[in-house]
């Protein structure tokens, strides 16, 4: 009698270079550095995941926003229940979406960083 055991293990990655390999969308503009990142994938067969980045664009926020085709979301509430501690809470003054992907971009006016989150649940 042969018994096959297969385990389902969730995946947690915080190394920015490795996390970027899991990014399912078009790559970030050349020269964009990843300061922090986190990727989580559930153990379920449904392929649930969330991914978070703190980015530092090489050429500045305005050019990054143009390259990524970002548009501002007005009167929109986004809840990110599983975000890492370094990831800021979004508000209507700094929440954007891209026409290139399904991610949300949080751009605080008082920071040089751009925060990106995407999830599939």
| Structure tokens, 92 | 């209507």
More confident residue, 3 or 8: 8
Q: How many Å apart are CA 31 and CA 53, to the nearest integer?
A: 15
Count CB neighbours of 60 within 10 A.
9
Could you state, in order of their start, the residue ranges of all structural domains in the chain?
Answer: 11-120
Q: What's the predicted TM-score (pTM) here?
A: 0.86
| pLDDT tens readout for residues 48-107 | 899 999 999 998 999 999 999 999 998 888 888 788 999 988 876 789 999 999 899 999
Nearest to 57 by CA among 108, 117, 112, 116: 112
Which residue is it, tokens 């548009």?
71
Structure confidence at residue 81 (pLDDT): 78
Structure confidence at residue 1 (pLDDT): 56
Average pLDDT over the chain, rounded to whole?
88
């Amino acid at each position: 009698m042969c018994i096959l055991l297969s385990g389902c293990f969730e995946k947690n990655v915080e190394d920015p270079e490795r996390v970027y390999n899991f990014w399912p969308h078009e790559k970030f503009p050349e020269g964009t550095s990843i300061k922090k990142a986190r990727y989580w994938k559930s153990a379920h067969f449904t392929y649930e995941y969330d991914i978070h980045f703190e980015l530092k664009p090489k050429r500045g926020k305005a050019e990054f926003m143009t390259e990524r085709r970002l548009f501002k979301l007005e009167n929109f509430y986004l809840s990110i229940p599983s975000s890492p501690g370094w990831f800021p809470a979004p508000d209507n003054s700094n929440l954007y979406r891209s026409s290139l992907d399904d991610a949300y971009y949080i751009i605080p006016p008082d920071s040089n960083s751009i925060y990106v989150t995407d999830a599939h649940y």
